[in-house]
Amino acid sequence: MPIRKLEEFLDREQIEYKRISHPRSYTAQKTAAKTHISGKEIAKTVIIKIDGCMHMAVLPASHQLDVKALLKATGAKDVRLAEEAEFLNFFGDCEAGAMPPFGNLYNIKVYVAEVLTKDITIAFNACSHTELIQMSYSDFQRLVQPIIVKMAMVQN
């Protein structure tokens, strides 16, 4: 059961969270629709490469990654979306594309979109395309200690 590692971590840290099962969906926006949670409160995890190193970018489902803004904010020479084949082995306990935004559990640096920090609660994939975890953003911030960056723009 892929979610076990995440739940054990949250339980050990005494975090209040809610586990939400939903019909299988492969995009954050569809998950938001199926769970009746606002797309701005669904945190999607995007795997990126910054100067050749793997990182996580976490942003609302209702937004898309602004690679140019992230490039500027990090001062990197190169920022690009990672291809699935490049990161699949990093998340062996998760279904492909269903990684939770806890890079600290995988030794990966996490960048979070500034707009997401305004949410009281966030929900995110819990290692599968049929399970979400919903918890307070402040607990997420405390546990993950992401780098906050303006890197998200509203999707058209």
pLDDT tens-place string over residues 69-126: 999 999 999 999 999 999 988 888 899 889 999 999 999 999 999 999 999 999 999 9
As a whole-number percent, the residues of the chain with pLDDT over 90 amount to: 75
Measure CA 25 to chain center.
Answer: 15
Please state the domain extents for the chain. Answer: 4-154
Count of CB atoms situated within 10 Å of the CB of 105: 16
Share the mean pLDDT of the chain. 92
User: What region, left, alpha or beta, does residue 41 occupy, with left being phi > 0 and alpha being psi -120 to 50 degrees?
Assistant: alpha
Token pair listed for 30: 């569809």
pLDDT at 154: 85
Residues 6+ apart with CB under 8 A from 64: 152, 153, 154, 155
pTM for the full predicted model: 0.93
pLDDT at 1: 41
How far apart (Å, rounded) are the C-alpha atoms in residues 80 and 102?
A: 20
Report yes or no: 44 and 23 within 8 Å, Cβ to Cβ: no
| CA distance to 35, 79, 124, 134, per residue, from 21 (Å) | 8, 34, 11, 11
How far apart (Å, rounded) are the C-alpha atoms in residues 66 and 33?
A: 23
Report yes or no: 107 and 73 within 8 Å, Cβ to Cβ: no
In the CATH hierarchy, which top-level class contains the domain 4-154? alpha beta
